[in-house]
Amino acid sequence: MSTAATSLSDHLLRPLARGHSPAHASTGAAGGAVCGDLIRISISLDPGSPAGEISDAGFDARGCGAVIAAGSAVVGLLRDATLLAAARLGADEIAQELGGLSVAKRHAAELAADAMHRALGSAARERAALAPVDGRALVAMSGGVDSAVAALLSGAGGEAVGVTLELWSDPQNDGEASCCSAQAVRRAREQAHALGMAHLSIDLRAEFRAGVVDHWLAGHAAGLTPNPCVRCNGSVRLDAMLALGGRLGARTLATGHYARVDPGGLLRVAADERKDQSYVLAALAPASLARLRFPLGELHKPGVRELARKAGLAAAGRPESQDLCFLAGTGQESFLARHGRLRTRPGAIIDRDGMVLGEHRETHLFTVGQRRGLGLGGGAPKYVLSTDALANTVTVGARDELLADRMTVRDVTLHRPATSVDAVRVRAHGRRLCCRLAQDLRAGRHARARLTLEQPAERTAPGQLACLYSGELVVGHATVSA
């Protein structure tokens, strides 16, 4: 009998700690109805260990024999291991512990690795208290080329630790196209391990639903067009990773965003302005920003892909995701109907004088500036000027009727006095518009403010972020009101 068969048979006939659940355990599961195999891994951390030693581990599984053996192999690998040493293990190491697995049985090692890493992530987030280590950085990894290069530049193979958040799970989404799906987590883990890094995954689906998706759905129901990425970065995703970094003894968090931080502590536009992401990071608290590092801030996208290619990174040619992560592979209309219960409610399409020009299916399907999908037939092009969820109307007009030289914003945060503001950006990929604030406001928070634009520009949908600049520096943010 081969060594592989012997190892697999040993773990199957005499599984280690099957059915055992350690005290104060953190548990991760993988598999389920689709494949018929299910595995749960449970671990406990020693709360007094500055290295994060794993004090106990157990598993349970049902399905094929290979899955049971893989669970036993994980327990064997975790004994006497530390949290970060375990975070360097993947399906390859589990298969090797079993003496090697055939292609048909490889899925067992992959499921066991998924369950183990969910348990490790949960334990790290809830119980880890590792001693701070100079040079240790947490690196946000999505499975794409930008985060992979950020990891490469942050000390891969040394003290860098990768982390990926599982934010959304929906069978109707395209998990391969999403940056926060279970598939993305596995892809990012493989990238981190290829770079010699420990990797942890965090299940943040409940927080993401409550803090981002529900807010986005409520905004659409109220006739607004909120930007979920701003809210996710500002109060959900990066905060969770910074908190994890503190538990792992990492003082900084590196991300693949195209942005820079000024020596004075303010966010600054990236060197590659076409890829600049200062807009979606604008709502970050200064204390959070102080711990963030942006390795790509001085780089341009072609150079990033070239670095990935030279390093042999699998993500070098991976296309960028285009949709919101929770919309990947599905349409906005169907998502709003399924998750927000926003059904079609036909109403009138009118002009500014109230004349009915046509009929719409639902106001939440339209946003200010939209041209397509109105179904008004021939004639001069019409653009959405406003929507009214209460009256159930969509008001349209000519493009020049979209232009305005004033803007009202609410929930204003200023890091510098209003006199320093000289530009505003109201779309993630839009240009900065020269402007000034009408009031002489101090740094701090203010309920409302008015902006005067140097030149008329197309109006922006209420609910969008207004990112306020002084030159290249982000000096504040607000929400577009009208």
Interacting residues of 48 by C-beta distance below 8 A, sequence separation 6+: none
Dmax over CA atoms of the chain, in Å, equals 86
Within 294-415, residue ranges assigned H as helices are 301-310, 332-340
State the DSSP H helix or E strand holding residue 66, giving kind and residue range, or none if neither.
helix 65-78
Per-position DSSP letters for 116-183, written without gaps between them: HHHHHHHHHHHH--PPP-TT-EEEE--SSHHHHHHHHHTTTTTT-EEEEEE----TTS-TTT-SSSHH
Provide the sign of the torsion angle of the four alpha carbons 239, 247, 84, 113, taken in this order. negative
* Three-point CA angle 345, 350, 356, nearest 5°: 90
CB 164 within 8 A of CB 143: yes
Contact 92, 101 (CB under 8 A): no
Is-catalytic flag, 325? yes
Nearest by Cα to 216 from 321, 346, 325: 325
Q: Which of 179, 229, 325, 435 is catalytic?
A: 325
Q: What is the dihedral of CA 12, 16, 19, 25, to 10 degrees?
A: -140
Give the active site residue among 229, 232, 435, 467.
232
180 given a catalytic annotation:
no
Q: CA separation (Å) from 439 to 313, 412, 442, 468, 475? A: 51, 12, 9, 14, 15
Are 57 and 32 spatial neighbours (Cβ–Cβ below 8 Å)? Answer: no
DSSP 224-244: ----HHHHHHHHTHHHHHHHH
Question: Rounded to an integer, what is the distance from CA 202 to the centroid of its chain?
Answer: 11
For helices 228-235 and 237-247, what crossing angle results, to 10°? Answer: 20
CA distance 388 to 462: 11
In whole angstroms, what is the distance from residue 423 CA to residue 436 CA?
7
Contact yes or no for 9/3 (Cβ under 8 A): no
Q: What angle do CA 89, 182, 343 make, to 5 degrees?
A: 170
Give me the DSSP letters along 13-57: HS-TTBT---TT-EEEEEE-TTTS-EEEEEEEE-TT-TT-BEEEE
Catalytically active residues, by annotation:
232, 325
